[in-house]
Every structure is written in structure tokens, then in C-alpha cells.
Amino acid sequence: MSRSPNASPTASPLHPLERRLLVHLRDTALLPAGSRGVVCVSGGGDSVALLRLLHALRERLGVAPRVLHFNHGLRPEADDEARWVCALAATLGVPCEVRVASHLAGHSGVQAAAAAWRRETCRGLLAAQGLDWAATAHQRDDHLESLLLGLLRGRHIANLRGIAAESPPFVRPLLPFTHAELLDYLRARGQGWLEDPSNRSPAYLRNRVRHELRPLLEALSGGALARRLSALERQSGELRALLGTLPEPAQSDPARPPHWIDAPALAALPRIAATGALARFIQARLPGAVLYEQLECAADLLAGGAPTWEVQLPGGRRLTRMRDRIELARVPDA
């Protein structure tokens, strides 16, 4: 759906979704009164809804949002979308900035590279302008899809979680709300949005989860998929909290290679705790997907007591035991 951005700003009384968001933000203090930040607006329905909602609540919350748009330079429509977002911001009387990427076209792993660029750009802009937060429009459906992706990617059971509401400086105010609720809100406000055709491309795993896997699981679960996944996420959190009460093996400073963790201390832990500690150790130093199968392999070798061994990890990494240490390193290029 695409309409003119020149919708009139929201007036009182509050829409029911605005009231719900106001209660949520007051309960969570995600956006403290007096704080300033940017709303990341792509032009899609979720981000436009986030902008309209925060704009409607700005005086009640005591915040001053502005707009940040990322032009990835990957599609012919990108420049038009940037102009559309800027026009919407102007209609609302909100400052708007556009950042353009020039390095993503032809990049292998373009989605990951684009996400990294957005995060780095956000942090730089916040620091340069003395702003407090960057609000993104991740919503409940995104959260559930992330849980499913975690299952598909073999994530450790103690690390099975969706999208965090806050990972400073990023905040995600819309996690309690569904995509459908946000679009209904925009329709009620007479506000248009843009559709990105790449969001339906089967080339991306998340899109296949969204359009193929999730509808099937919803049908098979009798509409209880969200409740089942939320319960599984809570169980994961309870296990994570329990494992957090156990001693953490000695290990190197994450910021300074070489990276190592104490092998005898790891071996002394219960197996589920050892694999969890190993997963945290790896993620803190070389972020990326770590399959539980690799953690199991390392745990088997650790239990076997051999003084030296090696386990290959995804992304050109490996674990190597050298007597009392297990070291993590990238595999040298051939």
C-alpha cells in the first residue's frame, strides 16, 4: 500500500493503540522523559506506525523524536523512498536525516552487512548529536520469527530468545504489538506507507519463515504458536538464570586476543552448563551463529580427556584444545 505522506498529524483523543503504547512505555521506561533520539523509518508500515505513534505521544512522554532514514542504494526505488520519508517527516514537523550506503551493492551476505552498517551509522549519529536512543520498529511477529530462526539455526537451548526490547542505544517499543495491529492503526489515521517487494522474496530465510513456515505452524498448533514459542522462550530464560548461578570458567579478555577459556574448569561443569559457557565464550569474541552440534562435539572431546583436539565452527572459526586451554581463532586463509 502506498499513499501520499501528507496525512494530518494525530489529534486528541488518543487512538486505543496509542493508549496501549503509552502505558507500555511508562511501565518499561524505554524512553525516559526529557530524552532525545531518532526513529529509524524505512517507509514500511511498521516504521511509519512507530513514527506516528511516538509523534502522537511526544508531549505525554516528554520525548523529542526525529527521523533517520537509511538509503541502502540497492533498489531503483531507494531514492524515491527517501524523499517519501522526508516528506512525511516534514508533514509532522519532525527533523529528518538520510544516510546513504555506497558499499553494499554486490556484497556477499548483503543483509548482514546492511544491518551492521545501520547499527554503526546509528551509533555514530547519536554520539555526534548527543542523542540518547534509536528506536526501531521490530514488532511481535518479528520477535516470534526470530525464535523460529533460532530453532532452525540450532541455537543453544539456554540462548533461545527473540528480540530484546532494549540493547542500548537501541530500543524497540513495538514488541507487544502485531504487524496487523500497526497497519490497522495507520488505516485509522489515514496514513499511507510503502511496500518493499524484497520483503516477499524467497531468497531470504526470514521471508520463508514469515510466509511459509509460520502460517503452517499456526495452522498445526490451532492458533497457539505464539503462546507455545513464548513458553519455550521463558523456559530458556529460566535455564539461563539457573546456569548463571554456576561458576564461570576463567577466560581471556573478550577485547584482546588470543581468546581462550580454562579447559579443566569447563570440564568440571555439568554438560549443559559447559556447552552454555562455551557458547557465551564464543559469542562474546566472534559473534555469529554457533550450532549446538559443534558445542556437543567440543563437550564430547572435553569429556574424553584428550590433551589436544580441534573443532571446526561456522564462519571460518575453530576451537583448539591445547592442554589446559581451549582457544578460539579464525582459520587462516589458504
Instruction: Name the residue ranges covered by the structural domains of the chain.
Output: 16-137+172-200, 259-330
Helix 179-188 × helix 45-61 angle, to 10°? 70
The type of residue at 325 is R
* CB < 8 Å & 24+ apart, contacts of 322-327: 323/263, 324/262, 324/263, 324/264, 325/260, 325/261, 325/262, 325/263, 326/260, 326/261, 326/262, 326/263, 326/266, 326/278, 326/298, 326/302, 327/258, 327/259, 327/260
**pLDDT at residue 126, rounded to an integer:** 97
CATH number given to 259-330: 3.30.465.60
Average pLDDT, the chain: 92
**pLDDT at residue 123, rounded to an integer:** 96
Q: What is the pLDDT of residues 223-266, one digit of tens each?
A: 999 999 999 999 999 999 999 999 999 999 999 999 999 999 99
* Distance separating alpha carbons of residues 216 and 220, to the nearest angstrom: 6
**pLDDT at residue 3, rounded to an integer:** 55
Instruction: Give SS3 for 12.
Output: coil
CATH number given to 16-137+172-200: 3.40.50.620
pTM: 0.87
- Using alpha carbons only, give the angle 244, 249, 254 rounded to the nearest 5 degrees: 95
In the 8-state DSSP scheme, what is residue 199? Answer: G
The type of residue at 320 is T
* Distance separating alpha carbons of residues 270 and 299, to the nearest angstrom: 10
Q: What is the pLDDT of residues 295-309, one digit of tens each?
A: 999 999 999 999 999
